[in-house]
Structure 1
């Protein structure tokens, strides 16, 4: 039987050419080991320090997972789950892996809406459902949430995650590029409407800037937009708001840092105001908030 420390050395050796940062390899190692052994990081650290042995059946399973990682497969797809706001979410090849930048967007929304109740919230391009579910979990009275995506396979994953976290979300299968999002005929006059979206925003020409495991495994349709119309999703959502919604509408977008000025210019041009932009933890302009108003 191989020891934990020897497997750790083997793990590092096999992934060092894919991940230049040793801390990233270490993080992936602990995600895999805590998943396989169904324990916390401290337990794995103890086994490493004591050079504990790994049973050959489990070792075979670990080697299989290591080969998947060596083929650039993201650890989240290898173990079938990702973490967002320290909560576990089921993920597979059909959904984009939740990112820390999106956590920052959700935190902004929660801070802005500490006292908000009975809102109508639309999460457009919900993916794993991490935004909707986190909002409802952290603030149960925030209001009714509609989570929208174009694929039934995506909706199925998001629905499983809602069940996992025991929250009520209304899921709707809508391709927003081809159809308007259906809304209730009557929205309470006193309710606030909040639109949230982390849509595809990476231009095809920017593929070269991404890690190979993103390009090879994460869903193309959740990532990329054409260079000739990189604002395609922002336009569609914004024009839908103008066409279908009345009263005060608060909009939160995650955005491409390279074209944030274009997004601001577009939103101003079509009548949005009180536009505020925020940087993420990397220092990039990554999220934007705006307001739209039309008399009821």
Structure 2
């Protein structure tokens, strides 16, 4: 039998060149071990300090996971889960790994809409839902939202989102639609006084920026959820905005996660399309990462 301490040393030596930041490496170690042993970080620390033994079967499992990490596979895919807003979500290579920046976007929505007016039912459209983390969190935190429509072009992503909705016991509408090819899904109108919230973390990294990303992102995360052509980096924002203008009625609140390098282009585009009250916000790293706008759609559409 091997000891916890020995695995810890092997882990550090194997990954120190890939993850030179000590804190990041420690985080990955505890994510892996708490998952395998189904315990908390304190328990792992105690087992480490006591140099407790690990049975051969479990040690072999740990080593196999370690070799996956050595190949640059993100820890979230290695263990098949991640946390978003303190809630556990199933993930695999078919969905983009939820990021803290997206948590900030969701928090912004929740802060803006603390008190829902029941005279004006609210429906949410989450475009490019991936794991479903945005839709599920909004419905979980605000069950009074009448309808949440989670839309994605990849049927396998929809399946992951469905599993996560079931995991968190929330009812959302999941639709497999490629908005670039077929336009947007439109549910039956629930009321002429409906308030629409559109939220999207669409692909926005230009192909020329690929070299700026960590290798594990480029190698393992779905490229269709990341990249847009350099010649048309606003392609998804254009499609969504066109759909809003053409199909929705009433007041529409729009929340987008954006590329910090072209935030001025996004602001200019929204202004030209008639969006009002445009506000840009920095993320926790200080980058302009999200934008909010309001559109007053033609009630006669």
> C-alpha separation between the residues in 2 aligned to 1:199 and 1:207?
16
The answer to whether the aligner puts 1:17 opposite 2:17 as a matched pair is yes
**1:232 pairs with one of 224, 231, 235:** 235
8 Å CA contact retained: 2:193, 2:250: no
Deviation at 1:283, TM superposition (A): 0.2
The answer to whether the aligner puts 1:188 opposite 2:191 as a matched pair is yes
Aligned partner of 2:253 in structure 1 is 250
Equivalent position SS for 1:24? helix
Equivalent position SS for 1:183? coil
Equivalent position SS for 1:292? strand
RMSD over aligned Cα, in angstroms? 0.9
- Structure 1 stretches lacking a partner, 5+ long: none
Map 1:65-144 onto structure 2 (within 5 A).
Answer: 65-116=65-116, 118-144=121-147
Per-residue CA distance 1:56-109 (angstroms, 9 max, x = gap): 110000000000000000000000011101111000110000000000000000
**1:145 pairs with one of 128, 145, 148:** 148
Deviates more, 1:183-192 or 1:125-134: 183-192
Deviation at 1:178, TM superposition (A): 1.1
Runs of 4+ displaced beyond 3 Å = none
Aligned partner of 1:210 in structure 2 is 213
The count of residues paired between Structure 1 and Structure 2 equals: 296
> C-alpha separation between the residues in 1 aligned to 2:101 and 2:37?
29
**TM-score, normalising length: structure 2:** 0.97
The answer to whether the aligner puts 1:170 opposite 2:173 as a matched pair is yes
Deviation at 1:185, TM superposition (A): 3.4
> C-alpha separation between the residues in 2 aligned to 1:59 and 1:6?
10
> C-alpha separation between the residues in 2 aligned to 1:61 and 1:283?
39
**TM-score, normalising length: structure 1:** 0.98
The answer to whether the aligner puts 1:3 opposite 2:21 as a matched pair is no
- Structure 2 stretches lacking a partner, 5+ long: none
